[in-house]
Structure 1
Amino acid sequence: MSGKVSGNAGMEQLILIMNKLQEACASSGTAHKFDLPQIAVVGSQSAGKSSVLENFVGKDFLPRGSGIVTRRPLVLQLINFHTEYAEFGHIRGKRFTNFDEVRQEIENETDRVTGKNKGISNVPIMLRVYSPQVLNLTLVDLPGLTKVAVGDQPQDIELLIRAMILEFVSKDNCLILAVTPANSDLANSDALKIAKEVDPSGTRTIGVITKLDLMDQGTDARDVLENRLLPLRRGYIGVVNRSQKDIEGKKDIVAAMAAERKFFLSHPAYRHMAERMGTSYLQRCLNQQLTNHIRETLPALRTALQSKLLDMEGDYRMYRNFDPNDPTIKTKAMMTMINQFTEEFTQAIEGSGEVNTKELSGGAKINRIFHERFMYLLHKTESDERELRKEISYAIRNIHGIRTGLFTPDMAFETIVKQQIARMKEPTLKCVDMVVEELINVVHHCTEKMSSYPRLREATESIVTNRIREQEGKTKSQLMLLVDIQLAYMNTNHEDFIGFAKLFSGRRENERHGITFLQNGADSLPDQFGKIDWEEKKVSFSC
């Protein structure tokens, strides 16, 4: 990122148009459906993100304090205008000229959604700042990466914040502004680490190094700023923000930026690159980067918008027979979509809807789970014959204790059989899990036609999925009860059970030849009853 940043004559309106599109999507509840070009600001707590954004605006307007301060994404739209004021997306028509009130409103709106216990939410706050001091620019300020839960925060707060950040920066159209303090090891930068995960080639990442004035005497970040240490395709820009003492002393931002300029011009390690450092250069650079990025992504975005328009036109044709003056039109529209969902779900299970020629799905997949996957899982539970014989031998010996028995005890039979029956529990539960997973996939597929109404879709999926989960618990309970019933009683009088009476009736012929059944006929016993080896004086079962 060398050389002076040039203007983008004729392209400035791109950012403003994108702002309008972003606002329209947010107000319709479909913002998450479009991968809109934007810049997401990522960094650890106290990395200096807030100071960078305030320097852009030239006003103190962001909440400050200990712990997690930014607890909701803040979509900050900077618009070059001849007068200075701010507007919130959730308060239509109200202009804020006092930026202390802007800070208070951000805090109030954050608490309204997340509560006052330091919780977080991925629902963004939309803030537009009009000022003659800014360039057209849109940034998304994300919560700072943290390690330890504070107050009533959940213990997995680190994972929750990380998941929220990934929700934004994983999108291909999102540029990543990775903010890292210069007085910490760059190799341990949380911002660069998470950027590396989603952008391994570094093509979407812009590095910002803060707190250059706080580095130990005799050290500098020249190798980083010259893009030699951890190279990024878009390079690094250094800035010097106000210290906490300056903020508490209400030091003017204009004076702070003048001091920043003086710092780079006078520092021996940075004076040769002073024209490419500082907040003003960073703002111009981001303006150009975002404008160029929007221009590059416009073809794909246009295709996505046209596809969405066709879907909405299809929905309109579905409801055009409704009387527009009917006060119940919204209710009728929702009922129509829910009835359509019910019909498609039933067809997917019964196989009477659209035929999928690529893979098994719906009822066909559930049928396969019952007749193939479940049988395979049962087969896997079968014990190796040698191992089973060893278990039977141990069971018989342990039941006899110090005595030497002649016949196989009934308890050994019951112990081994119950053990085999109990092994059916795990594959049975896995079968239920697979069926539930497929049912939820069917629900998700059938609600895709509700994508134009995300809240209705979310509510429908939630209700149906919760119902499936309720029945999942009942099903597993009944199946485990059925297995326990089988374990509770062994019916050896059942007609399919081959008892000794049936077995002996076909062996009387041996006695007439002077050979006792127990000595010479044991080898011919069915496997269910095993054989008695008199020479070894061992009794073993085979199942």
Structure 2
Amino acid sequence: FLPSRDFLPRGSGIVTRRPLILQLIFSKTEYAEFLHCKSKKFTDFDEVRQEIEAETDRVTGTNKGISPVPINLRVYSPHVLNLTLIDLPGITKVPVGDQPQDIEFQIREMILQFISRESSLILAVTPANMDLANSDALKMAKEVDPQGLRTIGVITKLDLMDEGTDARDVLENKLLPLRRGYIGVVNRSQKDIDGKKDIRAALAAERKFFLSHPASACVPLGSSCSVSPVPRQQLTNHIRETLPSLRSKLQSQLLSLEKEVEEYKNFRPDDPARKTKALLQMVQQFGVDFEKRIEGSGDQVDTLELSGGARINRIFHERFPFELVKMEFDEKDLRREISYAIKNIHGVRQVTGLFTPDLAFEAIVKKQVVKLKEPCLKCVDLVIQELINTVRQCTSKLGSYPRLREETERIVTTHIREREGKTKDQVSSRPAPGAPGAGIAPSPKPWPPSDPAAHRHRA
């Protein structure tokens, strides 16, 4: 079933720190090759293990870091079936070394990415000396395979169980039933690994354990991968079950491709109608993408930074208020200016009434409004810059047509700059307070109205 070669790294702690995609290919000769160094064929499998370790350290560093970038390895051998296996990191709950604080979440996401595929079989590995109900592997397998149709339970370290206990109920599929059952495995000890005990000798020792252990007397021989072709049967059955859906999917894709080919049979690259249609579609798509980025309803969500409409929102609701808060304001000077304005409006007359005269109010407010000009213009600049950045992001899809991309950016950017000028003109030429469209209402008159005759008498 697997090549009788020892080439996977072993050790304490987290050893598998990148997914290893292992492709087994039946061949008359035996060798291995990596995707990242195709030109080299490895016939010494000790070198294969060293290359896996070196390639892991190259991406993740040497201090227990992890990465979702897979290592691709092909093994050609006369002792294998055509099969792809994926070796994934085990769940780590406490970060060590250079591992991120959310190490458990990252590894879970990495594992789910592979085991969620309906065409894959899940090997849920659990040590025999651990309570099966607490198995992280079975728990995650159940999330993506609730019925247990794709999951094979693998029980390891059967020889390390406490004396007087056994895994009979588990191997007989009675404790936590799985449709495909469980397979028992006896691992090589660290002493065996240090002593260079090869895989064939380890398989022979495993077979001897299962045939001689008292607790295995009632366990079907098919529960051990070294004494039965059960794994091979499981693979064959799974292929037989998935072939119909795979065939249907391929037929659907074939029909779609044939339909597309039919459309291009009479295709003429120089047809003006097709060119115009393609141009309009690309321009319309640009408009849709720009609107989505501003409105925030895009299909792709950026999780690294704010952009588009979200950044403009922050400019208005965070950056602009911050600029206003930075404005210097002296309440003492303002009160003095208000007092002088009121007195100057009344002239030689006595200052009377409850309300500020309109002219004094307008003079004070106009002076304060002028101070808002600089923050407003700065806000306009920031918004314009974000709009231009959004235009460039949206035109990235037109990379295959450099001239179209350049013209689209130029036309849209020119329009934005024109609107920028008009916006700044409007900000700079605000009407006088109290005038139509100024947005500042004149101060209210006292109620009831004063008697004009009385005013003339006092004058």
TM-score, normalised via structure 1 length: 0.54
Going from structure 1 to structure 2, the CA distance change for 1:218 and 1:467 (only over 3 Å counts) comes to: closer
Report SS of the residue matched to 2:445.
helix
Residue 214 of structure 1: how far off its partner (Å): 0.6
Report SS of the residue matched to 1:187.
helix
Report SS of the residue matched to 1:120.
coil
Contact 1:227 1:236 in 2 (8 A): yes
Match of residue 301, structure 1, among 246, 249, 256: 249
Name the CA distance, whole Å, in 1 between partners of 2:268 and 2:104: 48
Residue 274 of structure 1: how far off its partner (Å): 4.2
Residue 212 of structure 1: how far off its partner (Å): 0.8
Contact 2:180 2:234 in 1 (8 A): no
Query: In the alignment, does 2:50 pair up with 1:107?
Result: no
Name the CA distance, whole Å, in 1 between partners of 2:289 and 2:23: 47
* Counterpart residue number, 1:242: 188
Name the CA distance, whole Å, in 1 between partners of 2:259 and 2:36: 28
Contact 1:67 1:150 in 2 (8 A): no
Query: In the alignment, does 2:336 pair up with 1:477?
Result: no
1:84-129 CA distance string (max 9 Å, x none): 2222233324321110011111122223333334332222222222
Query: In the alignment, does 2:226 pair up with 1:284?
Result: no
Residue 186 of structure 1: how far off its partner (Å): 0.6
Runs of 4+ that moved beyond 4 A: 307-317, 319-322, 338-342, 465-468, 481-501
1:348-371 CA distance string (max 9 Å, x none): 168xxxxxxxxxxx56xx9xxxxx
1:411-444 CA distance string (max 9 Å, x none): xxxxxxxxxxxxxxxxxxxxxxxx5531x33xx4
* Counterpart residue number, 1:118: 64
Report SS of the residue matched to 1:109.
helix
**Unaligned segments of structure 2, at least 5 residues:** 271-277, 335-357, 363-432, 452-459
Residue 61 of structure 1: how far off its partner (Å): 0.0
* Counterpart residue number, 1:67: 13
Name the CA distance, whole Å, in 2 between partners of 1:201 and 1:169: 14
* Counterpart residue number, 1:162: 108
Match of residue 208, structure 1, among 154, 158, 177: 154
* Counterpart residue number, 1:504: 447
* Counterpart residue number, 2:391: none
Report SS of the residue matched to 2:215.
coil
Query: In the alignment, does 2:296 pair up with 1:437?
Result: yes
Residue 175 of structure 1: how far off its partner (Å): 1.8
Name the CA distance, whole Å, in 2 between partners of 1:120 and 1:93: 27
Residue 295 of structure 1: how far off its partner (Å): 1.8
Match of residue 348, structure 1, among 281, 285, 288: 288
Going from structure 1 to structure 2, the CA distance change for 1:340 and 1:213 (only over 3 Å counts) comes to: farther
Which residue type is aligned with residue 306 of structure 1? L
- Describe how 1:516-535 pairs up with structure 2 within 5 A: none
Going from structure 1 to structure 2, the CA distance change for 1:311 and 1:273 (only over 3 Å counts) comes to: farther
466-475 vs 134-143, greater mean Cα deviation: 466-475
265-274 vs 252-261, greater mean Cα deviation: 265-274
Contact 2:8 2:49 in 1 (8 A): yes
109-118 vs 259-268, greater mean Cα deviation: 109-118
1:238-264 CA distance string (max 9 Å, x none): 111211111111112212211211211
Going from structure 1 to structure 2, the CA distance change for 1:343 and 1:257 (only over 3 Å counts) comes to: same
Residue 276 of structure 1: how far off its partner (Å): 0.6
Name the CA distance, whole Å, in 1 between partners of 2:252 and 2:450: 81
Which is greater in Rg?
Answer: 2
Report SS of the residue matched to 1:171.
coil
Going from structure 1 to structure 2, the CA distance change for 1:340 and 1:223 (only over 3 Å counts) comes to: farther
Name the CA distance, whole Å, in 1 between partners of 2:263 and 2:48: 40
Q: Number of aligned residue pairs: give it.
A: 337
Going from structure 1 to structure 2, the CA distance change for 1:264 and 1:467 (only over 3 Å counts) comes to: closer
Residue 147 of structure 1: how far off its partner (Å): 1.2
* Counterpart residue number, 1:227: 173
Going from structure 1 to structure 2, the CA distance change for 1:155 and 1:270 (only over 3 Å counts) comes to: same
Q: Percent identity?
A: 54
- Give the RMSD, CA atoms, in angstroms: 3.9
Name the CA distance, whole Å, in 2 between partners of 1:305 and 1:106: 36
* Counterpart residue number, 1:391: none
Residue 470 of structure 1: how far off its partner (Å): 7.0
TM-score, normalised via structure 2 length: 0.63
Report SS of the residue matched to 1:139.
strand
Residue 227 of structure 1: how far off its partner (Å): 1.2
248-257 vs 88-97, greater mean Cα deviation: 88-97
Name the CA distance, whole Å, in 1 between partners of 2:98 and 2:264: 46
* Counterpart residue number, 1:79: 25
* Counterpart residue number, 2:455: none
Report SS of the residue matched to 2:307.
helix
Going from structure 1 to structure 2, the CA distance change for 1:217 and 1:466 (only over 3 Å counts) comes to: closer
88-97 vs 472-481, greater mean Cα deviation: 472-481
Name the CA distance, whole Å, in 2 between partners of 1:301 and 1:137: 20
* Counterpart residue number, 1:56: 2
* Counterpart residue number, 2:217: 271
Residue 187 of structure 1: how far off its partner (Å): 0.8
Name the CA distance, whole Å, in 2 between partners of 1:204 and 1:100: 33
Which residue type is aligned with residue 343 of structure 1? V
Report SS of the residue matched to 2:210.
helix
* Counterpart residue number, 1:523: none
Query: In the alignment, does 2:133 pair up with 1:192?
Result: no
Name the CA distance, whole Å, in 1 between partners of 2:119 and 2:110: 16
Which residue type is aligned with residue 232 of structure 2? R
Going from structure 1 to structure 2, the CA distance change for 1:340 and 1:196 (only over 3 Å counts) comes to: farther
Report SS of the residue matched to 2:192.
helix
* Counterpart residue number, 2:345: none
Contact 2:296 2:310 in 1 (8 A): no
Contact 1:257 1:279 in 2 (8 A): no
Name the CA distance, whole Å, in 2 between partners of 1:105 and 1:193: 33
Name the CA distance, whole Å, in 2 between partners of 1:320 and 1:208: 59
1:199-226 CA distance string (max 9 Å, x none): 1111111111111111001101111111
Going from structure 1 to structure 2, the CA distance change for 1:476 and 1:196 (only over 3 Å counts) comes to: same
Going from structure 1 to structure 2, the CA distance change for 1:213 and 1:313 (only over 3 Å counts) comes to: farther
Name the CA distance, whole Å, in 1 between partners of 2:208 and 2:194: 22
Name the CA distance, whole Å, in 2 between partners of 1:436 and 1:225: 56
Going from structure 1 to structure 2, the CA distance change for 1:106 and 1:479 (only over 3 Å counts) comes to: same
Contact 1:56 1:279 in 2 (8 A): no
**Unaligned segments of structure 1, at least 5 residues:** 1-54, 323-337, 351-361, 367-434, 445-460, 509-543
1:323-371 CA distance string (max 9 Å, x none): xxxxxxxxxxxxxxx9999624433168xxxxxxxxxxx56xx9xxxxx
